[in-house]
A and B are shown apart, each in its own frame.
Chain A
Amino acid sequence: MDLRALAAHERQFGPLPEIEGPRLGRPGALVHEIEKAGLRGRGGGWFPTARKIHAVVESAAGRRAWSNGRKPVVLANAMEGEPASSKDAILLRHAPHLVLDGIQVLAATLGAESAFIAVHRGSSVIDVVARALADRNDRVTIELITPPARYVASEESALAHWTGDGMATPVYADRPFQRGVNGRPTAVQNVETLAHLALIARFGGDWFASIGTPAAPGTSLVSVGGAVNSPGVIEVATGTPVAEIIKRCNGFSNEISGLLTGGYGGAWVQAQPLLAAEWSPESVTAAGGVIGAGILWALDARECPVQELARVARWMAGESVGQCGPCRFGLPSIADDLDVLATREAQVADLHRVNARLPLVQQRGGCKHPDGTARFVTTGLHVFHEEVAHHLRGHCTASMAAGSLPIVHPRKTPVPFPGKDFK
């Protein structure tokens, strides 16, 4: 079914109903349906969408000490900075109008008069979105923007900063719901969340919550990659067993050494606890993983996992904005340690050094880039400890070249501080 044309989209889902605006500092009535739906943000944080809506409207109404009494802004995030994720692009390619409807729904509920959809520079879906926008006659004009394709540019405060008059660098002092695009209260939402909003506006909160787990209802898009027979994006109800997701991708294509959840800011998990878990934030977390933006990557057991950790850690170091010292200097130091651990010349002292450095980059940044990278490395060293031990004894068990984890635009050295790369 081709839902790229507006007519086909409206035939499939029906017209978008009239959405009530905010009154007396309270969001429009749809917020009650969103509460009933229990919708949580699919960009990675799984934050309750209704709570974010209330916060933005309260900020706009000037009812709190931190609020600024200005018109809110809607910012749709389709930046998809995680290289192993492709759900945002797939969603926009197949059902762009569902996302654009969601932006209209959110804008009306908040009383926003400006809205943006951010797709990273060079993305293959820019044309699809531009064509869909040209088809529509929206109450609130949606502007298509293309920030630089940098990992940290997807972070919500960096995105709001760039959309205003700043660079694509995270802002520490204020959160976007307080002061976002040009200082206005800004609702940053992932495009998958917005597509769900478009459906909740039509079919109601009870309908939405009729599938999935009580704590995180609805469906979730999962980008499945690596050593599976049919990699790709699938949609499952939350609560679906992880083993079932792998089965729908026709199983593992080889023996695997571990599974990456949540991408390069996520966590490695051994297959066993994870396959027994359900696809929900709570269950994946209990298994030691991170559901995040819905990434599952299976690492082929024939690859050297330590080389993969080193390669991705180096790339993540290069993706640092360089605003905060522990990230700017700590991540390259950690990548240096991993470069040594990835060889057969690795010494126990190298392992001790990286283990001492990893906590030093956590909880000390203006955004969570260093924390995510540290978690990726820490969990990786834990899951692949046997291979690390082999390296310390001068062996490597790999029988295939490393390099399966996707990396875009590798950068050799981190930028010293935000330069034109972030404009």
Chain B
Amino acid sequence: MSQLTELRLDPTLCDAHGFCVEMLPEILTLDEWGYPLLASGSLVVAVPEHLVSSAKKAVAACPVAALRLVTHKR
């Protein structure tokens, strides 16, 4: 059984500190206003297995707890 990990952003909490983008540049970039843009273009992005530990660092780095990792079994 494999796992599917998703990174979710609460846009009402995000305040453009930008630390997450430093931790996870593979799937997060900054938009022109300094807010994280997820590779999916929406508020949820799938995290490949080799990036899960970086994603955890990104979640921990957010000073306003706007990011969350959710794991689904499949």
Establish whether residues B33 and A330, one from each chain, have CB atoms under 8 Å apart when the complex forms: yes
B-contacting residues, A394-414, CB 8 Å: none
Other-chain residue from A169, A172, A326 in contact with B35 (beta carbon distance below 8 A):
A326
B3 at the interface (CB under 8 A from A): no
A-side binding surface: helix, strand, loop or mixed? loop
**Given the complex, which residues of A lie within 8 Å of B11, measured CB to CB?**
172, 323-326, 364-366
Q: Which of B19-27, B37-45, B50-58 contacts A (4 or more CB under 8 A)?
A: B37-45
Establish whether residues B35 and A325, one from each chain, have CB atoms under 8 Å apart when the complex forms: yes
Q: Which of B33, B37, B41 has the most CB of A within 10 A?
A: B33
B-side binding surface: helix, strand, loop or mixed? loop
Interface residues of B (CB under 8 A from A): 10-12, 14-16, 31-35, 37, 41-43
Establish whether residues B42 and A360, one from each chain, have CB atoms under 8 Å apart when the complex forms: no
A330, B14: Cα distance in complex, Å: 15
Other-chain residue from A170, A357, A362 in contact with B12 (beta carbon distance below 8 A):
A170
A359 at the interface (CB under 8 A from B): yes
Interface size in chain A (residues, C-beta < 8 A): 20
Establish whether residues A323 and B12, one from each chain, have CB atoms under 8 Å apart when the complex forms: yes
Establish whether residues A329 and B33, one from each chain, have CB atoms under 8 Å apart when the complex forms: yes
A-B contact pairs, 19 of them (CB 8 A): A171-B12, A172-B11, A172-B12, A324-B11, A324-B14, A325-B33, A326-B33, A326-B35, A330-B33, A333-B32, A333-B33, A364-B11, A364-B41, A364-B42, A364-B43, A365-B11, A366-B10, A366-B11, A366-B12
A363 at the interface (CB under 8 A from B): yes
Other-chain residue from B12, B15, B41 in contact with A363 (beta carbon distance below 8 A):
B41
A22, B45: Cα distance in complex, Å: 40
**Given the complex, which residues of B lie within 8 Å of A172, measured CB to CB?**
10-12
Give the top 3 A-B pairs by smallest Cβ distance, nearest first.
Answer: A325-B35, A329-B33, A324-B11
